[in-house]
Chain A
């Protein structure tokens, strides 16, 4: 991949993302880290959408159609953003806590952790430069689908001739955002790529680092926020997942972002409009990243319904800004329509595409006694292994048991429920799994349940707020 192709592949989505956020009313001067964390995800969402659109219209991915669409979109959004900014009065605000030397020591520690974490991203980038995706789910699920779509050159009636299991791809029903971003990279490079396909992964990784630090800093200040973030940033699963093209860390990031914005809406932290806009962006990324994302969106929705006051939603959803919720709905419809058109089924929900013909409720009822204990035992083993999960599940459990009334009172109750429902979802997914249970847990459980860690990090920060700030 040439330097100019790489620059376009990376910079154009960033420009589009920044333009979308500005048009939605997000002001980097009020929340710089939160803004920066959302730039790539917002841009990737629009890049994936533009790539899908041009492929559907029959433009080859190597044609300039997608960059032109994106550039036009960026320009339009930038004009809207500029008009909006002209009517705003805003100045740089960096909330500082504490006094004198202690305050600056806290800021210095935060900057040190921020630089170290961004250094991880840069190092991964340097080490992976030019490395082909050759193994694991990255190769067999995410990259080969991208290659198949690129080789076919369009999303048309004949796509299944290329994109099919007989030719070696798996899980064709998985959401397309990851493969579409790789198609975007291949398009800029002008041909099938072995190297350079993991660049989108680095964009997600940088966003994850920024988002983790942003939500902690916002709630418990720079020093405590940086210290808490180190629990998440030191997770070994991060470096495993970001070494390829898998999307698990994108699910973790989007679920964290979504929960953060719901919490901020409920806490009336910032303007409702931009919060709702980002809620829509994060939810759309969540459902378009992996199938677990849809489950987690449902968990967040159920948690919101049961955990927040009705007045919160009435206040937040009033007016035209509620239209931002159409974003995840549109992505969900697009994803379902794509799978229905080409007959791609979720093997987990269909008993391995019919290998297990029992209806889902029967599967659940009959598998639960035989599998439930083993799954819980594996989860427990994983939770208490500090090297694997940094104790995050145990800290969440401690928060629920010891955290007192705030954990069960709105708005934090929403997050408690969303994480709890999400964890139950993973448990049930393994109960209905048609795969060999030990193999399935061994190869995926740490990675998938780790998708909750971002939200658990937010939960810890939100619950600790009283101790640090009061």
Chain B
């Protein structure tokens, strides 16, 4: 019994850790070698050495996140009305992410509140049929905007909004 508890079982534990280390280690070192051989390093260094590194990084973000967001960069202009075109079929989770991104990027301009409807939709990862969101990024957002959005979002998968005299 003493042999079992003092030697065999702890030995099994040590073997389990060794096996996990081996599998994870092989995976890790293979992955790092792949990064070198597939040019991740050279691309990253080239991007940094480019004159407009920040602009290139922005371009990459836009490219990687081209859907669902089309006009991310424009969001930096705080007085614009920006239209986010969301491709049909994009999971609502991603749309929620886009709105978060928009909100952070346009700060300190006020943007619409989206968390009230996020929970019920995000959990279901619903696909969208028709999705255009217009954000008014003027310095003062009237309270009706939030009310309008809340009302539109209720009972629907998504809201089609227009703003500033445009039809909705």
- Which residues from 54 to 90 on chain B have a C-beta closer than 8 Å to any C-beta of chain A? 54-58, 60-61, 65, 72, 76
Given known A123-B44, A230-B21, A402-B10, contact A151–B65 (CB-CB < 8 A): no
- Which residues from 81 to 133 on chain B have a C-beta closer than 8 Å to any C-beta of chain A? 97-98, 100-101, 103-105, 107-108, 110-111, 113, 115, 119-120, 122-123
- A interface residues, tally (CB under 8 Å): 58
- Once bound together, how far apart are the Cα atoms of A442 and B107, in whole Å? 28
Indicate if the CB atoms of B104 and A127 lie closer than 8 Å: no
Indicate if the CB atoms of A168 and B111 lie closer than 8 Å: yes
Given known A228-B17, A398-B13, A464-B14, contact A135–B101 (CB-CB < 8 A): yes
Indicate if the CB atoms of B104 and A195 lie closer than 8 Å: no
Indicate if the CB atoms of B13 and A140 lie closer than 8 Å: no
Residue among B9, B41, B53, B105 facing the most chain A CB atoms (10 A cut-off): B105
- Which residues from 8 to 46 on chain B have a C-beta closer than 8 Å to any C-beta of chain A? 9-14, 16-18, 20-25, 27-29, 31-32, 35, 40-41, 44-45
Given known A126-B48, A195-B54, A436-B120, contact A234–B27 (CB-CB < 8 A): yes
How many residue pairs link A and B with beta carbons under 8 A? The number is 158
Q: Say if the beta carbon of B6 comes within 8 Å of chain A.
A: yes
Q: Mostly helix, strand, loop or mixed at chain A's interface?
A: helix
- Shortest CB–CB separation between residue A189 and chain B, in angstroms? 11
Q: Say if the beta carbon of B47 comes within 8 Å of chain A.
A: yes
Contact of B113 among A143, A144, A168, A460 (CB under 8 A): A168
Indicate if the CB atoms of B57 and A131 lie closer than 8 Å: yes
- Once bound together, how far apart are the Cα atoms of A467 and B61, in whole Å? 48
Over the window 150-190 of chain A, the binary record of Cβ atoms lying under 8 Å from chain B Cβ atoms (1 yes, 0 no) is 01000000000010001110100000000000000000000
- Using Cβ atoms and an 8 Å threshold, which residues of chain B touch A143? 104
- B interface residues, tally (CB under 8 Å): 57
Indicate if the CB atoms of A134 and B61 lie closer than 8 Å: yes
Tell me the nearest residue of chain A to B46, going by C-beta.
A126
Indicate if the CB atoms of B24 and A148 lie closer than 8 Å: no
Residue among B9, B24, B27, B65 facing the most chain A CB atoms (10 A cut-off): B24
Q: Say if the beta carbon of A403 comes within 8 Å of chain B.
A: yes
Given known A170-B115, A194-B76, A395-B20, contact A130–B107 (CB-CB < 8 A): no
Given known A134-B101, A436-B119, A464-B17, contact A234–B58 (CB-CB < 8 A): no
Q: Say if the beta carbon of A132 comes within 8 Å of chain B.
A: yes
- Using Cβ atoms and an 8 Å threshold, which residues of chain A touch B17? 228, 231, 395, 398-399, 460, 464
Q: Say if the beta carbon of A129 comes within 8 Å of chain B.
A: yes
- Once bound together, how far apart are the Cα atoms of A402 and B9, in whole Å? 5
- Once bound together, how far apart are the Cα atoms of A371 and B110, in whole Å? 37
- Using Cβ atoms and an 8 Å threshold, which residues of chain B touch A467? 10-11, 14
- Which residues from 434 to 470 on chain A have a C-beta closer than 8 Å to any C-beta of chain B? 435-436, 438-439, 442-443, 460, 463-464, 466-467
Over the window 65-98 of chain A, the binary record of Cβ atoms lying under 8 Å from chain B Cβ atoms (1 yes, 0 no) is 0000000000000000000000000000000000
Tell me the nearest residue of chain B to A144, going by C-beta.
B104
Tell me the nearest residue of chain A to B108, going by C-beta.
A151
Given known A139-B101, A139-B103, A151-B107, contact A131–B25 (CB-CB < 8 A): no
- Shortest CB–CB separation between residue A198 and chain B, in angstroms? 11
Indicate if the CB atoms of B107 and A126 lie closer than 8 Å: no
- Once bound together, how far apart are the Cα atoms of A131 and B72, in whole Å? 13
- Using Cβ atoms and an 8 Å threshold, which residues of chain B touch A443? 122
Indicate if the CB atoms of B107 and A230 lie closer than 8 Å: no
- Using Cβ atoms and an 8 Å threshold, which residues of chain B touch A128? 57
- Once bound together, how far apart are the Cα atoms of A442 and B91, in whole Å? 15
- Using Cβ atoms and an 8 Å threshold, which residues of chain B touch A227? 18, 21-22, 25
Q: A140-B103, A148-B108 are in contact. List 20 more A-B contacts (CB 8 A).
A: A123-B40, A126-B41, A129-B47, A130-B56, A130-B58, A132-B58, A132-B105, A134-B105, A136-B100, A148-B107, A166-B110, A167-B110, A168-B104, A168-B111, A168-B113, A228-B21, A230-B29, A404-B5, A404-B9, A467-B10
Which 10 pairs from chain A and chain B are nearest by CB?
Answer: A130-B57, A130-B54, A126-B44, A230-B25, A134-B101, A139-B104, A439-B123, A234-B28, A402-B13, A402-B9
Q: Can you list 30 A-B contacts (CB < 8 A)? A: A123-B41, A123-B44, A127-B44, A132-B61, A132-B105, A136-B100, A139-B103, A139-B104, A144-B107, A147-B104, A148-B107, A151-B108, A166-B113, A168-B107, A168-B110, A192-B107, A195-B54, A195-B58, A230-B21, A231-B24, A234-B27, A234-B31, A391-B20, A398-B16, A403-B13, A404-B5, A436-B119, A439-B123, A443-B122, A464-B17
